[in-house]
Amino acid sequence: MKDILVRIGGDGGEGIISSGDLLTMALARSNYEVFTFRTFPAEIKGGPAMFQVRFGDQTILSQGHQADILVTLNEEAFRLHHAALKPDGLLVYEPAHYKPEGSFEAYAVPLDEIASHGVKSAITKNMVALGVVARVLDLSFETLEQLIRERFGKKGDAVVAKNLEALKAGSEFVAQHPVKKQLPVFAPLESSHKHVVMSGNEALTVGAISAGCRYFGGYPITPASDILELMERELPKFGGAVVQTEDEIAAIASVIGASFAGKKAMTATSGPGLALMVEELGLATMAEIPCVVVDAQRGGPSTGLPTKMEQGDLNLAVYGAHGDAPRIVLAPGDVEECLYYMIQAFNLAEKYQTPVIFLTDQSLAHRTQTYVWPDFSRVPVINRLLPSEAELKEYDRYKITPDGISPMAIPGMKGGCYAATGLEHTEEGFPSFVPKTHTIMSAKRAQKIEEVSREKGFTARFGEKQAKIGVIGWGSTQGAIREAVEMAIQQGLSVAQLQLKMVYPLPEADLLEFLQSVEQVLIAELNYMGQLNQLFQSKFLIPTQTLTKCEGLPFFAEEILAKLKEMSGSAKAAAQGERLATHNR
């Protein structure tokens, strides 16, 4: 696979993310496969920000670890990111700020001078830098020009003109001062398939609306706020309603109310918000009301690392409840899966009449990836079971059934009146504190979750059919593990991967089949305690090894490869891999 990695570093407010987004879209419109990663400060302005895009002529699985081109808008950005630049890479820097040293090609571009005196707009230096990168990559100027008009058009012709002038100035500087760096040569492919470019938050929003979501209640929190903003813009077009509530408790309460009234409903939050929703999730479990909650995880606990990623909310998602309150927890592996598994999330919520928690994280929420135009027929939409006319004659809302699922009446249905409260209840819905009733109804709610564990299509296997080492991962680790497994196999190791799309209940049949096909098990996840490993051990009680990382950053494939080599006995090679990964953090 051929690919190039470009990283841009600077301060928040300098247009790092904007120039990165424009570069990504220009590459995507040129038919390249793209995979982005970004970090940004928690402050409104200032603090280090970074955007990188890895692109190529084949599917890109992870963010990559070494940059071919590094653009630094200030000295701090150089100090933070120069270790990630390939030894023979290209550094674009501002010579008025510092003089870098290294084996790379240091390409001085007077960004400030060009922007301030050439373009006469100091804030356009990010566009000057974009023009430099575009010229080095031989990107179409017309494509970038169109993107700038689309992005800044609402701000007026003068703003568009200044940005175009800055872009052209950067490009012309390279024409007059050619770089020496030789980049891999490959032309964008003529694709026979129509592609889309989306972030994880965008994809899951599309999936939710496609699944029939018609109510969204939410409260802003990083990194889930995009979903609220997208829903506010898009859901009314489909006849839906969006309410920005006063807090997360009101958000989930309104979602439960809307769902009780017959609308498919969801909210989105991050760890601290999910913690506030726990009591209401218990109500949804007790009253058997479908709802979907997106938890875009960030580094925690408490405010923690609000703009960084972590897979630290698994225990909260699975166990965060009072009483026995089982729920379903899904974890998509990439942007495309955010769309399809969000439809699955609504399907499971409606089918089993229970809360579904949808775990993403900051890196997946904001990551931009290309994928084939969605085929919505891949996941047929499922609606909740409604009572028949015969059942409504003597309606029992919580009727005991063989699979634990009872027909759910919508308010207004003749004969379908019932009480939906947090109190324990009889089959008819009447409050009851009889010991036997609580036992029967607890078993009913638990039985539904046992049925969910037998659902198909919630794992993905990669690598060899029989292997010495099996790697189990969940969520956004999928791409880095898959890339590591592919590298390991190319280097002669026997490795397979099982990626869990459902982390609760565990898909037991697929897990048992996988465990029988491997000799050693490695569980890789992005938290300190190894939360999936703990959940796995509580179920299977077999020896495992863990690879955890708790830095607010995703895995590098090389880190996982190093662990695989260590487990296979290639200690020397593993040490080399570890040094490489450490060097590039």
Q: What are the pLDDT digits (tens) for 113-144?
A: 999 999 999 999 999 999 999 999 999 999 99
Q: What is the pLDDT of residue 24?
A: 95
Enumerate residues 6+ apart whose C-beta is below 8 A from 166.
114, 115, 119, 121, 124, 125, 127, 128, 131
Instruction: Annotate 439-468 with b (16+ C-beta within 10 A) or e (fewer).
Output: ebbbebbebbbebbbebeebbbebbbeebb
* DSSP designation for 119: S
pLDDT at 257: 98
Within 13 Å and on the Cβ side, how many CA atoms surround 477?
Answer: 29
Round to whole Å and give the CA distance between 34 and 18. Answer: 16
Residue 426 CA, chain-centre distance (Å), reads 41
Determine the pLDDT at residue 570. Answer: 61
Q: Rounded to an integer, what distance in angstroms lies between the CA atom of residue 97 and that of residue 533?
A: 47
Q: Which two tokens stand for residue 216?
A: 């969204």
pLDDT value at residue 188: 65
Q: Are strands 355-361 and 459-463 parallel, antiparallel or unpaired?
A: unpaired
Is the distance from CB of 550 to CB of 310 less than 8 angstroms?
yes
Q: Tell me the backbone φ, ψ of residue 492, rounded to 5 degrees.
A: 95, 5
- pLDDT beneath 50: ranges in the chain: 571, 579-585
Given a contact cutoff of 8 angstroms between Cβ atoms, the answer to whether 210 and 343 are in contact is yes
Q: Are 369 and 336 in contact (CB under 8 A)?
A: yes
pLDDT at position 103 is 93
- Contact, 214 vs 235, CB < 8 A? yes
Separation in Å, CA 284 to CA 341, 429, 433 = 21, 14, 19
Instruction: List the beta bridge partners of residue 295.
Output: 269, 359
**Which pLDDT value is given to residue 576?**
52
The pTM score is 0.93
Distance CA 458, CA 471 (A): 16
534-567 residue pLDDT tens: 999 999 999 999 999 999 999 999 999 999 999 9
Tokens of 215: 């109510």
pLDDT value at position 581?
47
Dihedral of the alpha carbons of 253, 259, 265, 267, in degrees to the nearest 10 = 10
Residues in Cβ contact with 225 at an 8 Å cutoff, skipping those fewer than 6 apart: none
Sheet holding 241-244, edge to edge: 241-244, 213-218, 264-269, 291-297, 355-361, 328-330, 502-504
- Looking at this protein, which amino acid is placed at residue 376? F
| Angle in degrees, 0-180, between the axes of helices 435-452 and 335-352, rounded to the nearest 10 | 150
Task: Give the pLDDT score at 583.
Answer: 43
Q: Which residues neighbour 582 within 8 Å (Cβ) at sequence distance 6 or greater?
A: none
List helix spans (H) across 191-326.
Answer: 200-211, 225-234, 248-260, 271-287, 314-319
